Amino acid sequence: ETGVTQSPTHLIKTRGQQVTLRCSSQSGHNTVSWYQQALGQGPQFIFQYYREEENGRGNFPPRFSGLQFPNYSSELNVNALELDDSALYLCASSTRIDGYTFGSGTRLTVV
Amino acid sequence: AQTVTQSQPEMSVQEAETVTLSCTYDTSENNYYLFWYKQPPSRQMILVIRQEAYKQQNATENRFSVNFQKAAKSFSLKISDSQLGDTAMYFCAFMKLGGSGNTPLVFGKGTRLSVIA
């Protein structure tokens, strides 16, 4: 088991820019989910991928997009960054048996 | 849609004492899981305990136990013999069963627990 690894750990971007966050899933986990956690709040579901296809999406605009690769790693892309996009972005990989394993997140600051 | 409510933004407890964190949820589903996660300053969500809704017996994991009241839609976490390392944000989460893969987690807003020496 290698756990879930996210990169980078911290990131500062300017409003209007684009950002890509990366996540390596735990070995054997075929589902990856992304969550946004604003300061002082609980995580909010962005979207989920199962075997490289999106199979669930939360209430986030289309400028939030993602990919899952054959090795089950994943990317979260955010276009046209807004100040309110500043948050901790958590990735979680899972199976039905194992449940969710979370990474330590990427702290994104938009200025 | 499911909602999860944690009504205690902050709590504190003396080391070695017992504390209970509250959680209520709203759902029309009959088959689901409930979770308590711990988020220390390292930011990683760590699973504390899981409860399957079809099980009447309350889940326990060492010093952590839950009081699951399905009819009341209540799911509280009891931490016994509190330790300094228990200091963290605690999140209650709901997950319905169904489909391929896991369905998304719905989180509450969290309770900040401070254990005082």
Alpha-carbon gap, residue A32 to A47, rounded angstroms: 9
Which residue out of B8, B45, B50, B106 would a mutagenesis test of the A interface target, given it has the greatest number of A Cβ atoms within 10 Å?
Answer: B45
Cα dihedral sign, B19-B59-B4-A54: positive
Which residue out of A100, A101, A107, A108 would a mutagenesis test of the B interface target, given it has the greatest number of B Cβ atoms within 10 Å?
Answer: A100
What SS3 state is found at B56?
coil
Task: Considering only the beta carbons, identify the residue of A41, A48, A105 that sits closest to B104.
Answer: A48
Contact B47 A30 (CB under 8 A): no
User: To the nearest whole percent, how much of chain A has pLDDT over 90?
Assistant: 75
Residue A21 is encoded by which pair of tokens?
């966050």
Mean pLDDT, 10 residues at a time, chain B of 117 residues: 94 98 95 94 91 92 96 97 97 84 88 97
The residue ranking higher by pLDDT, A28 or A33, is: A33
Mean pLDDT of A26-39: 90
Contact A96 B91 (CB under 8 A): no
Distance from CA of B98 to the nearest CA of A (A): 10
Please, what's the b/e burial string for B86-108 (b: 16 or more CB within 10 A of its CB; e: otherwise)?
Answer: bbbbbbbbbbbeeeebbbbbbbb
pLDDT at A2: 61
Distance from CA of A66 to the nearest CA of B (A): 16
Q: Are A1 and A99 in contact (CB under 8 A)?
A: no
